[in-house]
Amino acid sequence: MNEAEGWVQNVPQASSEGARLITISEPTVKLAGKGMAVSFKPRSQADEDIIASYIPAPDPQTGEIDPNQLPDTLPGYLINLTAEFTIDGEVQDSANAGTMGTTLYETMGVYSPAKGWHRSVNHPIAGEYRAMALDLQGSSPEQAERLQQELEQTKAILETGDELQLATLTKHQVVGDLLGGTIFSYFALNNVQDEIAAQSADIVTYRAPSYGLFRTDLTTSYWFGLPRDVNFSGLVMDVDLVTHQTVDTQNNQDRWRQFNQAINSRYSAMEHLVPEQMFSTEDNPAEGISAVKALAIASAEGQKIYTIDQSNLNTALNAIELEDHSEDEIRNAVLAGNIVTTHQYQINFNGWIGEGYIILDPDTGSGAYKIGGGENGAWVAIKTALDYFLFILGFGTGAGNLAEIKLVAGLDEILGGVFASIGRILAGLGVVLAGLDAVVSECGFGAVTGIVAFGIAGVALSLTAALFLGPAAVLIAATVISLGTSFIQSQIKEDFC
């Protein structure tokens, strides 16, 4: 079965009633392995100047910017933005998006010949950077390797501190690769665990077309109903569609449902675990929230956990005190025959106030794992300096202000840690995915061992080079090592599989 023969569509609009700003409709084969993003840039030089005026001046003694001087907000109502849809950093279409902080209306979807369109509706805020990932039939080791190399190249340029080299970077190379590498890793890590879980459960599973995004999160303050000030409030992972083709080898329906429910719970947990791992450093941990984590926190606080079906719907709704939108969705889901698990009151987690709830289909074990606000995903709070870095560059014209922003005290250390963390995870994923690919290709034990061993050796050599060489030399060494490792692995697969 090949459900990848479809189309992916992304349609940002001014509002649910407004005219379409951008329409993108492409065959999935064209988008496989590509990095897609919706981002924004200042519409004019005057708008860019307003943003630049909010970058604090460095201290004349230290030459650095005090992180405590970084602004919490920008006057979004004064800044006009242009929306752009890009594929691998190349602009496909653009349109006037109004002022920063404006709520837009977005429809995303993928078409399957067997099932028709699956569409999801989101509400982007003008000024966010939204990195999207399309997982058609599993994750590619080549894509993991390419992302790792791109991150290493960007990290090497950032470490030089050379203004001419910094000026060559775009927001897609900096913000886009950090966010895109995270959402790719989310799907890849789950794909690996799916294969392991399926083998132990006597289940056959194949990835069907799925998509999600990882984005910067903006909060808009309103004045008499109009967007006014905008502040950066962290990162959000929003995975709208995860689908599989799964079959129990003995046609045991109970075991099949249990498998589906188990992997879905893990998908929810990974929505906070993956960003935490990617954006945490030893001194600056990132903290995330997801549906399963919200329920765990509420339970630890002593809150009642409700399993709601049609027999206790009214009693439960009278007892819980959650966001109106969440309660409405819970009511509608239960009336449609689903079972919902949620907690009694909203929680406060590092300044995030909301709830988590699970909408479960009792017939299949599949479900939606949501946090307050309707996101199918997780919210992540990160360090103030990194917040500001991603915020400013995420809607910039490129990396024109990168040299000034890098003067923020402590930012270089945080950036270096984040780039290194994501690079290590992608390197490890590349090795594991290459090994799984060899197993699927029915390579013998010796060939699989050789492919994995050379992958591990390549990662070890790259890490060793980073300890002894400068940024430019590390980049050259990493490229040579990567090409050599890929060549040897390809030869093993060609000769022995």
Each residue's pLDDT tens digit, 71-110: 878 999 999 999 999 999 999 999 999 999 999 988 898 8
Helix ranges, 161-252 (H)? 163-166, 171, 177-200
The predicted pLDDT at position 372 comes to: 84
Q: How many CB atoms lie within 10 A of CB 60?
A: 6
Pairwise pLDDT comparison (281 vs 116), residue with the higher score? 116
pLDDT at 400 over 80: no
Predicted structure pTM score: 0.83
Say whether pLDDT at 477 is over 70: no
Q: Is the CB of residue 352 less than 8 Å from the CB of residue 336? A: no
Burial class (CB in 10 A: 0-12, 13-18, 19+), 17: exposed
Using CA atoms, how far apart are residues 162 and 108, in angstroms rounded to an integer?
40
Give the model confidence (pLDDT) of 232-284 as tens digits: 888 899 999 998 889 999 999 999 999 988 888 889 988 988 888 888 877 77
Task: Please tell me the distance from the alpha carbon of residue 47 to that of residue 384, in angstroms, as a whole number.
Answer: 24
Exposure string of 143-172, with b = 16+ CB inside 10 Å and e = fewer, is: bbbbbbbbbbbbbbbbbeeeeeebeebbbb
What average pLDDT does range 41-58 have in this prediction? 88
What tokens appear for 347 in the block?
Answer: 């929680």
Residue 3 — pLDDT band, cuts 50, 70, 90? very low
* Neighbouring residues of 93: CB distance < 8 A, sequence distance ≥ 6: 22, 23, 24, 84, 85
**Across residues 285-294, what is the average pLDDT?**
88
Interatomic CA distance for residues 493 and 438, integer angstroms: 7
Q: Which two tokens stand for residue 13?
A: 């609009």
Tell whether the model's pLDDT for residue 494 goes beyond 80: no
Cross-strand partners of 218: 232
Express each pLDDT in 300-357 by its tens digit: 999 999 999 999 999 999 999 999 999 999 999 999 999 999 999 999 988 888 999 9
**Alpha-carbon dihedral sign for residues 189, 157, 40, 146:** negative
Mean pLDDT of the 434-447 span:
60
- For the chain, report the end-to-end CA distance as a whole number of angstroms: 23
Mean pLDDT check: name the lowest of 122-126, 148-152, 278-282, 493-497: 493-497
pLDDT computed for residue 85 by the predictor: 94
β-bridge pairing 339-343 and 305-308: antiparallel
Q: How far apart are CA 227 and CA 163, in angstroms?
A: 35
pLDDT-derived band at 406, boundaries 50, 70, 90: low
Task: Note whether 272 and 288 are within 8 A (CB).
Answer: yes
For the segment 58-81, the average pLDDT, to the nearest whole number, is 84
Average confidence score pLDDT of the chain? 81
CB 410 within 8 A of CB 385: yes
Q: What is the mean pLDDT of residues 116-133?
A: 91
pLDDT given for residue 338 in this prediction: 96
Q: Tokens 């939204």 appear where?
A: 130
For residues 207 and 242, is the Cβ–Cβ distance under 8 A? Answer: no
Residues 40 and 175: beta-carbon distance below 8 Å: no
Q: Which letter does DSSP use for residue 382 in this model?
A: -
Beta carbons of 260 and 246 less than 8 angstroms apart: yes
The burial of 335, by beta-carbon neighbours within 10 Å (0-12 exposed, 13-18 middle, 19 or more buried), is given as: exposed
Residue 38 pLDDT exceeds 70 = yes
Closest CA to 435 of 139, 2, 186: 139
Look at strands 356-360 and 130-135 and give their pairing.
unpaired
d(CA 159, CA 146): 20
pLDDT at 433 over 60: yes
pLDDT for position 233 = 81
User: The tokens of 332 are what?
Assistant: 């509608």
3-state SS assignment for residue 230: strand
Token pair in block for residue 331: 């009511």
